[in-house]
Amino acid sequence: EAQVTQNPRYLITVTGKKLTVTCSQNMNHEYMSWYRQDPGLGLRQIYYSMNVEVTDKGDVPEGYKVSRKEKRNFPLILESPSPNQTSLYFCASSSGEGAFYGYTFGSGTRLTVV
């Protein structure tokens, strides 16, 4: 089944403790991205990647890192999480440059930083 898999689904952590949210897709998509969803602010893009070793900032990249060493994986790294990073996170992927193809989203990761 074609899908984007995020792990974990739920995570509670403490301020400053490094964490990684994994994202993997099995559709051989070139384009991957991360979004966060917050009440009243909607979904905002954090980072995106056009292909292996190619990443760029979205609208809200501060406090996050990403890497794209393999085509299928696009982990989101919080080096020193803070409470304002409490949010619902989504990974998405698309074929080609994403221009003419739909995006597939993962099931989401609900992160709480205390």
Partner 1 sequence: GIQVEQSPPDLILQEGANSTLRCNFSDSVNNLQWFHQNPWGQLINLFYIPSGTKQNGRLSATTVATERYSLLYISSSQTTDSGVYFCALRGGNDYKLSFGAGTTVTVRA
Instruction: Give me the residues that bind partner 1 (CB under 8 A), please.
Output: 31, 33, 35, 42-43, 45, 48, 50, 58-59, 88, 90, 92, 97-105, 107-108, 110
- Nearer to partner 1 (CB atom), residue 6 or residue 81: 6
**Closest distance of CB 104 from partner 1, Å:** 7
Between 9 and 18, CB nearer to partner 1:
9
The minimum distance between CB 80 and partner 1, in angstroms, equals: 25
Least Å distance, CB 43 to partner 1, is: 4
Cα–Cα distance measured from residue 74 to residue 30, given in angstroms and rounded to the nearest whole number:
11
Residues 6+ apart with CB under 8 A from 43: 35, 36, 37, 90
Token representation of residue 112: 């709480």
Residue of 50, 41, 42, 44 whose CA lies nearest to 63: 44
Cβ 19 to partner 1 shortest distance, Å: 19
Q: Which is nearer to partner 1, 53 or 79 (CB)?
A: 53
In whole angstroms, what is the distance from residue 8 CA to residue 3 CA? 15
Are 64 and 77 in contact, with CB atoms under 8 Å apart?
yes
